[in-house]
Amino acid sequence: MANSITNGVRQSRLFTKTRKEAPTDEVSRSAELLIRGGFINKEMAGVYDYLPLGMRVIAKIEDIIREEMNMIGGQEISMSSLQRQELWQKHFNQDRWDDSKVDIWFKTKLKDGSEKGLAFTHEEPISNMMEQFVSSYRDLPFSVYQFQTKFRNETRAKSGIMRTREFVMKDLYSFSKNEKEHLVFYEKAKQAYVNIFKRVGIGHVTYLTFASGGVFSKFSHEFQTVTPSGEDTIYINKNDNIAINKEVFTDDVKKDLNLKGDFKEEKSVEVGNIFTLGTKFSEPHLVFEDENGAKSPVFMGSYGIGPARLMGTIVEVLSDDKGIIWPESVAPFAVHLLLLGDDKSVAKEAEEVYESLLKNNIEVLFDDRSGVTAGEKFADSDLLGIPLRAVVSLRSIKEGGIEIKKRGEAKGKIVSLDELLKIIKPKVK
Amino acid sequence: MANSITNGVRQSRLFTKTRKEAPTDEVSRSAELLIRGGFINKEMAGVYDYLPLGMRVIAKIEDIIREEMNMIGGQEISMSSLQRQELWQKHFNQDRWDDSKVDIWFKTKLKDGSEKGLAFTHEEPISNMMEQFVSSYRDLPFSVYQFQTKFRNETRAKSGIMRTREFVMKDLYSFSKNEKEHLVFYEKAKQAYVNIFKRVGIGHVTYLTFASGGVFSKFSHEFQTVTPSGEDTIYINKNDNIAINKEVFTDDVKKDLNLKGDFKEEKSVEVGNIFTLGTKFSEPHLVFEDENGAKSPVFMGSYGIGPARLMGTIVEVLSDDKGIIWPESVAPFAVHLLLLGDDKSVAKEAEEVYESLLKNNIEVLFDDRSGVTAGEKFADSDLLGIPLRAVVSLRSIKEGGIEIKKRGEAKGKIVSLDELLKIIKPKVK
């Protein structure tokens, strides 16, 4: 939706308001800031609503992910949440329908009494669906992805939007003829993930991390972002800029990966994972005929990122005691324009700046509220964390224009409107 | 997502394939065509997956709706599916939690045994959430909307994507100080709906229809699209281009609405509805203080459209015995480029046309498949229903270029590449 969102929003008309306090049961710093800023609303533990400011951030994160998925050839789909029991039970070796094997199912019932599940992932339905599209080696390889709502019946949900019972996940699934072909795509997907974390502004603290594998691979790869609030523990190898998850951090593994030198222990959040599934979900039903007419099961991989968890992680990493500091790439707006005071000529000037920014295709939140003090407006601006603050006041006009200040910086400066328009990048698309 | 979708897709790489037959239990004509074309996949009765071609159509429909909702000031949010019992039970007069009052709930349970519902609509949670944002007359009026997955436990689901157990709905909610202010917005929303149905290509068969109202309004308004497969019956007044739903079609109502002349009975699909809720969901908890400090409940309205039902309706209305005939505004691509034969110089020519179209920001599906006959390609092209077919073959080159034909028309003509580029509109954004 990033491109059908409106460029300009007047804060006097935005229905959300900032809050001094988050709900008392909210222990996550990112959720606290996001709730106080009006980005999200807590519906119950582990279940959140996304409000206009939050929607803009999520849309930008999703568009970055979508671009990278399209770049590696991913085809976008959207599968259902409601799932048939039979599919998860009979057609596969895993029997992941069984609550004793998978303890995060939400189950529900149709009118006819038949039990349905709410998908926590989609390997079973997607490999089942692909039976109708894959028959020959000519149909492979390919990959599909979706931004789709997952339901997970987490016993505890206390990390804000970092671990929730309902969340949109970007899950991509790859289908290849064999392991060799799979690994070519796997490397591309790995690079796409590196690009994504870099583009959303947390590349500098995000590490490719070796984690436990499955039947078909010794390790899987996670992307872990260092933050004290993380639920995971990783050991970062400084020489190679690579990490190992605590769950597999042994001398044997270090040797195996040929990683030398020091390791530093850090708390971290898993912001993405990529996984070689092999034929675990394709055997025996999803098969193809090779050039010689012989049948083989399709070789699969899966690749996940949760946009909301990413939003939460960005806030954990990029904030200070006053509020959020959004990177430009995912900020809800490029500019936070503040009108100070009740002087009519100042208001007129601010309106002109607002209109000029919009004409130049720049996304701007305009704090045009009356009856709000300068101090309150500054505090709100710091909390919301838009990258550039532009103040129009009697003083700024007297000093020659608009006072601008980057969110992370302490001191501002006065610029003219023309200078301001040169400084800010218009929305790309 | 319409603007981060890729302009060009090679049919040889598209994982979906057309099918000769739809599932035998599929009785809906639109679902049959959409399944055969690979737009959607049936997961179970009333539950569908959206595949790449279908995603493109849905994205365009959603973007048209979003633009119209933004135009009337709607602010986009996204609320959760999981719902707390207490909220629907205690805080409101309706007790819509009760399965005997609302018979389409899907219910599920948390680990702690507490029952949760999957939202079939959002009046209760949204009016509850707004308590924290609305306190004064200065906070009103405003409106919010979402594209959000609804779950409805329909007893029967046999109309393809027209009535499903899980579907994305655009639901907008308006919040006003009083009925007068509400009606001003209500008229704007009505006009936005008229615009939407016109823009997606079914304006000519869609009627503003009077249906049964509630406590706060004698009638509600539906938008009904005439099609033999519709579940509803309406009576169209030819003089005024307005219809009355069978459920309220009496002499008294005709008189009441001052509608004279003939009425024609038609089967129809409800593609949208707008509803005056009044204070039904705000009283007593969602109140505001007026200029004099007196407290009044907020006056609400709700406004719904299901993008998938709209897609199904478009197909019901715009198809022939060969397949779908998409309107340009929602077509998955602007051009279906067909390469015929195995001649290398023809293939080279077709590749050049493909690249030129992409360079000109035109969305094109390129049927570059080898080993598929011309007849099969033509049949697939008719089934998929892309507005313009452009054929590159030995014959077309001999005759001076590319043979183009509109999907609805019988005869094509030869044009040069330059002429082709002039004929087709590039993607707007």
* Contact list, B44 vs chain A (CB under 8 Å): 82, 84
Asked whether the bond before B52 is cis by omega within 30 degrees of 0, the reply is no
The average pLDDT across A57-66 equals 97
A1 domain residue, yes or no: no
The token duo for B345 is 């110089």
Q: What is the domain range of residue B402? A: 335-423
In the listed set B296, B320, B344, which residue is the last one of a domain according to the structure? B320
Same domain, A285 and A346: no
Same domain, A217 and A363: no
Task: Identify whether the C-beta of residue B324 lies closer than 8 Å to the C-beta of residue B211.
Answer: no
H-type helices in B37-178, by residue range?
A: 52-71, 85-89, 123-130
Among chain A residues, the shortest Cα distance to B77 is held by A51
Task: Identify whether the C-beta of residue A182 lies closer than 8 Å to the C-beta of residue A216.
Answer: no
B89 domain residue, yes or no: no
* Contact list, A62 vs chain B (CB under 8 Å): 1
pLDDT at position A126, please? 97
* Contact list, A5 vs chain B (CB under 8 Å): 70, 76
The average pLDDT across A143-164 equals 94
Among chain B residues, the shortest Cα distance to A122 is held by B49
The answer to whether A372 contacts chain B (CB < 8 Å) is no
* Mean pLDDT taken over chain B: 94
B158 min Cα distance to partner chain A (Å): 15
A126 min Cα distance to partner chain B (Å): 10
CATH number at residue A265: 3.30.930.10
pLDDT at position A386, please? 98
Torsion of CA A180, B14, B33, B410, to 10 degrees: -150
pLDDT at position A3, please? 55
Q: What is the pLDDT of residues B261-290, one digit of tens each?
A: 899 999 999 999 999 999 999 998 999 999
Same domain, A375 and A249: no
Among the residue ranges A275-279, A415-419, B258-262, B329-333, the one predicted with the least confidence is B258-262
Same domain, A339 and A297: no
Of A55, A66, A139, the CB nearest to B78: A55
Q: Is the pLDDT of residue A34 over 90?
A: yes
| Percentage of residues of chain A with pLDDT beyond 90 | 87
The average pLDDT across A346-368 equals 97
From residue B40, how far is each of B9, B35, B111, B429 by CA, in Å?
Answer: 17, 5, 34, 26
- Measure the CA–CA gap between A10 and A372, rounded to whole angstroms: 14
pLDDT at position B1, please? 47
Task: Please name the residues between 58 and 87 in chain A that touch chain B, using a CB distance below 8 Å.
Answer: 62-63, 66-67, 70, 73, 75-84
Determine whether the interchain pair A77/B49 forms a contact, defined as Cβ–Cβ distance below 8 Å: yes
A98 domain residue, yes or no: no
pLDDT at position B428, please? 66
Q: Mutating which of B13, B43, B196 best tests the A interface, going by the most A Cβ atoms within 10 A?
A: B43
Which of the four pLDDT bands, split at 50, 70 and 90, describes residue B343? very high
In the listed set A278, A297, A320, which residue is the last one of a domain according to the structure? A320
Of B75, B106, B144, the CB nearest to A108: B106
Task: Please name the residues between 12 and 41 in chain B that touch chain A, using a CB distance below 8 Å.
Answer: 13-17, 19, 41
A177 domain residue, yes or no: yes
Among chain A residues, the shortest Cα distance to B124 is held by A43
Same domain, B132 and B185: yes
Same domain, B291 and B184: yes
pLDDT at position B316, please? 97
Among chain A residues, the shortest Cα distance to B55 is held by A77
Q: What is the pLDDT of residues B203-225, one digit of tens each?
A: 999 999 999 987 778 889 999 99
Task: Identify whether the C-beta of residue A174 lies closer than 8 Å to the C-beta of residue A208.
Answer: no
Determine whether the interchain pair A166/B83 forms a contact, defined as Cβ–Cβ distance below 8 Å: no
The average pLDDT across B302-330 equals 97
From residue A121, how far is each of A102, A125, B82, B328, B367 by CA, in Å?
Answer: 11, 9, 17, 35, 33
Same domain, B371 and B271: no
Determine whether the interchain pair B5/A76 forms a contact, defined as Cβ–Cβ distance below 8 Å: yes
Return the axis-axis angle of helices B52-71 and B179-199, rounded to nearest 10°.
140
Q: To 5 degrees, how large is the angle CA B90–CA B95–CA B96?
A: 130
Q: What is the pLDDT of residues B129-179, one digit of tens each?
A: 999 999 999 999 999 999 999 999 999 888 899 999 999 999 999 999 999
Same domain, B252 and B393: no
Which of the four pLDDT bands, split at 50, 70 and 90, describes residue B23? confident
Of B41, B82, B144, the CB nearest to A166: B82
Same domain, A272 and A346: no
Same domain, B254 and B402: no
* Mean pLDDT taken over chain A: 94
Determine whether the interchain pair A47/B110 forms a contact, defined as Cβ–Cβ distance below 8 Å: no
- Measure the CA–CA gap between B156 and B107, rounded to whole angstroms: 18
Of B80, B155, B166, the CB nearest to A80: B166
Q: Is the pLDDT of residue A252 over 60?
A: yes
In the listed set A320, A348, A378, which residue is the last one of a domain according to the structure? A320
Q: Is the pLDDT of residue A22 over 90?
A: no
- Measure the CA–CA gap between B340 and B355, rounded to whole angstroms: 17
* Contact list, B3 vs chain A (CB under 8 Å): 2-4, 429
Tally the domains of chain B.
2
The token duo for A15 is 């229905």
Same domain, B301 and B362: no
Phi, then psi, of A22 in degrees rounded to 5:
-90, 165
| Percentage of residues of chain A with pLDDT beyond 70 | 98
Which of the four pLDDT bands, split at 50, 70 and 90, describes residue B89? confident
B326 domain residue, yes or no: no
Same domain, A303 and A343: no
